[in-house]
Amino acid sequence: MPLLLKNLVYTLIIPATAAVYLPLLIAQDVRFPDWGIAQFAALVPLALGAAVYFRCLWEFGKTGRGTPAPIDPPQRLVVTGLYQYVRNPMYLSVLLIVAGWALFFHYSELVKYWLITALVLHALVRIGEEPLLRRKFGDAYVEYCRSVNRWIPRLTPARDLIAP
């Protein structure tokens, strides 16, 4: 299967479930709000989250030669694009989108879902991804972790990062 198609299939299954399908399922009984300031403001995190996600997906394919899926991970450590600012921009994009839905629907259950999602993603990163990346990419990943924060984006890009 071509890389672009694999990335799109993965996106429609995993990130779309967390960022779109589940939030809309949670809000299904909420009356669709009239368009007001909150709904227009919600378009910012929704659009920004989608833009960040697809930019990162591009980096995974172009630079990493793989997908975000654990069954077809990147062959090279991705330290370009938004990954120069923060180590987990894809997860942050999902959280931005969920925050957008919470704002759009003004629904506290979506805020709870955002908190649960943030905790699950943090645990996934700490327990699963970071040890795996440390084993796979060794010193390059350790140096990357020293240079780039896990969740709080840098104001300037980390330069001179080298992928193995």
Instruction: Kindly state the average pLDDT of the residues 60-73.
Output: 82
Residues ≥6 apart with Cβ < 8 Å to 130: 145
109-154 tens-digit pLDDT: 999 999 999 999 999 999 999 999 999 999 999 999 999 999 999 9
Measured between alpha carbons, how far is 151 from 133 in angstroms, rounded to an integer? 16
Nearest to 11 by CA among 61, 54, 71, 60: 54
pLDDT of residue 7: 83
Distance CA 93, CA 41 (A): 16
Q: Domains in the chain and their CATH numbers?
A: 3-147 (1.20.120.1630)
Average pLDDT for 51-66? 90
Sign of the torsion formed by the C-alpha atoms of 40, 46, 50 and 52: positive
* 3-state SS string for 111-148: HHHHHHHHHHHHHHHHHHHHHHHHHHHCHHHHHHHHHC
Q: Over the stretch 4-56, which tens digit does the pLDDT of each residue have?
A: 788 888 899 999 999 999 999 999 999 999 999 999 999 999 999 999 999 99
Higher pLDDT, 74 or 47: 47
162: number of CA atoms within 13 Å, CB side? 4
* Statement: the pTM of the whole predicted model exceeds 0.85: yes
